[in-house]
């Protein structure tokens, strides 16, 4: 087996053993959310590969939320709006604290989560934090951060 | 039966931190330890049948003193197996953040409401979010979660390996 083939096999094996390197896609906001209370209305956001963590190569937007929190619901709504606008340029990571999380998501939780929800992160393509704050945040400052990160 | 297995270990009651999900239980005549609390959320619970404590040194001291008989209903079950601590999210945001962070790091449900199981020496080792009275949509019932908490607590090595030491000054 040539060295080139060996490298190719290693690469393919790595990809197969790391399914969570794919970002969440097809994000959908729960249409039954009550934005005026801390009611429990189920997962705020659903999507394919929902357990994905940080994916290098593009900026990542991460939301860490609790289902019974109206601030989280409002931020979830902004998150899906941002996703619809930036889905081709930014990876989105959705971490629901009410369900068990993948090891990749737990890495982000351990590193950044301080106990307040919602928590929003924007990481650059290498995983450096560009935004790391608890609480709701308007879409505009996040979009500005995206644009700067995408310029580089 | 793990209760039988558990009891001879001589381990003491563990505090249970929860957020109001037993509020619908029937009233009791003797007020619990919340009678002097400033928080309206806590003082409203002073006549609940659960023997609630506010967060502080007292429930942890009590947890080290008590041992457990077995249960009858939910309130009695809590009183007989745990030292119950009620925390007002709005009055103690730093404490709640600490509990949520601990559960998040342990990959336990960590949203609101929050139910935390803590050893008498302040190690959070198990927890959940909202716990319904009966198992629903894959969520365990309160009783199932509490039984799991007791079972885990009986296994000292598991508690030591998978727990989060809280800062108890508040």
Q: What is the DSSP letter of B59?
A: H
Which residue ranges make up each domain of chain B? 2-165
Residue B11 has pLDDT above 70, yes or no: no
Which residue ranges make up each domain of chain A? 20-151
Helix (H, G, I), strand (E, B) or coil at A19: helix
pLDDT in tens, A106-148: 999 999 999 999 999 999 999 999 999 999 999 999 999 999 9
| C-alpha–C-alpha distance, residues B33 and B51, integer Å | 7
The reply to whether residue B111 touches residue A117, judged by beta carbons under 8 angstroms, is yes
**Which CATH superfamily is B2-165 part of?**
Glutaredoxin (3.40.30.10)
| Nearest CA-CA distance, residue A2 and chain B, Å | 43
The reply to whether residue A113 touches residue B101, judged by beta carbons under 8 angstroms, is yes
Q: What is the pLDDT of residue B16?
A: 54
| C-alpha–C-alpha distance, residues A10 and B119, integer Å | 46
**B133 in A contact zone (CB under 8 Å):** no
Residue B6 has pLDDT above 50, yes or no: no
**B110 in A contact zone (CB under 8 Å):** yes
Instruction: Give the pLDDT band (50/70/90) at residue B74.
Output: confident
Q: Which two tokens stand for residue A5?
A: 């083939």
Q: Options 3.40.30.10, 3.20.20.60, 2.40.40.20, 3.30.930.10; which CATH number does A20-151 get?
A: 3.40.30.10
Residue B139 has pLDDT above 80, yes or no: yes
More confident residue, A88 or B10: A88
Q: Which residues of A touch B (CB under 8 A)?
A: 38, 40, 64-69, 72, 96-101, 106, 109-110, 113-117
The reply to whether residue A114 touches residue B97, judged by beta carbons under 8 angstroms, is yes
Residue B162 has pLDDT above 60, yes or no: yes
Instruction: Give the pLDDT band (50/70/90) at residue B22.
Output: very low
The reply to whether residue A115 touches residue B98, judged by beta carbons under 8 angstroms, is yes
Residues A42-63 have a mean pLDDT of: 93
């Amino acid at each position: 087996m040539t060295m080139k083939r060996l490298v190719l096999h290693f690469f393919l094996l790595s990809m197969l053993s790391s399914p969570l390197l794919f970002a969440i896609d097809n994000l959908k906001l729960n249409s039954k959310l009550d934005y005026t209370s801390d009611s429990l209305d189920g997962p705020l956001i659903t999507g394919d590969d929902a357990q994905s963590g940080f994916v290098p190569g593009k900026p990542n937007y991460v939301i860490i939320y609790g289902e019974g929190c109206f601030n989280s619901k409002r931020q979830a709504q902004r998150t899906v709006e941002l996703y619809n606008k930036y889905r081709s340029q930014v990876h989105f990571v959705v971490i629901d604290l009410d369900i068990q999380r993948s090891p990749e998501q737990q890495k982000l939780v351990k590193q950044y989560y301080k106990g307040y929800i919602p928590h929003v992160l924007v990481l650059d393509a290498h995983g450096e934090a560009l935004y790391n704050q608890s609480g709701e945040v308007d879409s505009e400052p996040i979009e500005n951060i995206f644009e700067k990160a995408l310029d580089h | 039966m793990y209760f039988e297995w558990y009891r001879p270990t001589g381990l003491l009651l563990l505090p249970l931190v929860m957020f109001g999900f037993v509020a619908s239980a029937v009233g009791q005549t003797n007020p619990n330890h919340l009678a002097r609390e400033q928080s309206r959320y806590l003082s409203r619970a002073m006549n609940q049948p659960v023997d609630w404590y506010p967060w502080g040194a007292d429930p942890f001291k009590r947890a080290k003193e008590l041992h457990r008989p077995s249960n009858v209903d939910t309130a009695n079950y809590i009183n007989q197996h745990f030292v119950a601590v009620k925390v007002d999210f709005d009055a103690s945001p730093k404490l709640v953040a600490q509990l949520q962070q601990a559960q998040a790091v342990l990959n336990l449900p960590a949203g609101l409401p929050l139910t935390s199981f803590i050893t008498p020496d302040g190690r959070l080792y198990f927890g959940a979010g909202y716990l319904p009275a009966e198992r629903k949509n894959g969520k365990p019932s309160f009783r199932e979660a509490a039984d799991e908490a007791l079972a885990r607590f009986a296994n000292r090595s598991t508690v030591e390996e998978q727990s989060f030491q809280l800062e108890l000054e508040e």
